């Protein structure tokens, strides 16, 4: 019996000595960035906004220039939509991230709710069904009205997109903006978001 116990103890000790220390788990490789056109991003944000308010309607959709995307393909890794609810008398922003944000995670992130007044022209809501022309199609129109020459001369120029409702003319408008920001444009081309017709350009 003693011999058997000794043999078993020796086997356990040998097994323990021969076992390798557990390797640390390897980190999963970072996810590649995801890019969406404005129409796809707008639909995604619209669904999220309806989780907040069933009557939520968009009043603005805009892309953000990021290190991963310069907007030259009509897409962006970050889109923000502003939505308003007449029932709640409130508006709320929602942001879609196709890259890892500084805080939170990828996907749709809601912002802070604020008061809403239907009389405010800067937050005029529109029916998303009017959006027939996507951001990449708006870019194609803008390229024919000065955008191509601008990017040929300055290929590092970023392009971003803003969609809103023009109350005086009662139409949905894509603003294709070439430059560092909305307040520092080198060129802005406006395209009808329903028909794709060129409206005007501003330098």
- Comparing 9-18, 21-30, 58-67, 177-186, the range with the smallest average pLDDT is 9-18
Segment 97-115 mean pLDDT: 92
E strands in the chain: 36-37, 57-63, 75-76, 78-85, 90-97, 107-110, 114-115, 159-166, 171-179, 185-192, 198-202
Segment 6-31 mean pLDDT: 56
The mean pLDDT of the chain is 89
130 pLDDT more than 80: yes
Give yes or no for a contact between 132 and 171, defined as CB atoms under 8 angstroms apart.
no
Is 3 within the bounds of a domain? no
Give yes or no for a contact between 79 and 38, defined as CB atoms under 8 angstroms apart.
yes
Is 190 within the bounds of a domain? yes
**Spatial separation of the C-alpha atoms in residues 75 and 163, rounded to whole Å:** 13
25 pLDDT more than 70: no
22 pLDDT more than 60: no
Is 116 within the bounds of a domain? yes
153 pLDDT more than 50: yes
Is 31 within the bounds of a domain? no
pLDDT at position 13: 46
Is 82 within the bounds of a domain? yes
Is 16 within the bounds of a domain? no
> In the chain, how many domains are there?
1
129 pLDDT more than 60: yes
Is 172 within the bounds of a domain? yes
Is 18 within the bounds of a domain? no
User: Structural domain of residue 84, as residue ranges?
Assistant: 36-202
For 127-149, letters b (16+ CB in 10 Å) and e give ebeebebbbebbbbbbbebbbee
């Amino acid at each position: 019996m003693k011999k058997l116990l000794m043999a078993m103890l020796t086997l356990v000790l040998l097994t323990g000595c021969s076992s390798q220390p557990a390797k640390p788990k390897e980190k999963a490789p970072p996810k590649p960035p995801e890019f969406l056109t404005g129409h796809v991003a707008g639909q995604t944000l619209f669904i999220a906004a309806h989780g907040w308010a069933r009557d939520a309607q968009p009043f603005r959709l805009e892309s953000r220039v990021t290190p991963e995307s310069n907007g030259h393909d009509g897409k962006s890794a970050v889109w923000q939509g502003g939505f308003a609810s007449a029932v709640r008398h409130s508006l709320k922003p929602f942001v879609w991230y196709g890259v890892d944000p500084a805080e939170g995670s990828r996907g749709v992130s809601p912002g802070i709710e604020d008061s809403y007044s239907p009389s405010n022209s800067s937050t005029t809501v529109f029916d998303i069904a009017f959006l027939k022309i996507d951001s990449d199609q708006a870019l194609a129109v803008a390229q024919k009205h000065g955008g191509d020459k601008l990017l040929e001369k300055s290929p590092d120029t970023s392009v971003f997109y803003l969609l809103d409702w023009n109350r005086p003319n009662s139409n949905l408008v894509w603003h294709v903006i070439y430059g560092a920001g909305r307040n520092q444009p080198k060129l802005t081309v406006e395209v009808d978001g329903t028909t794709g017709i060129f409206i005007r350009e501003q330098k």
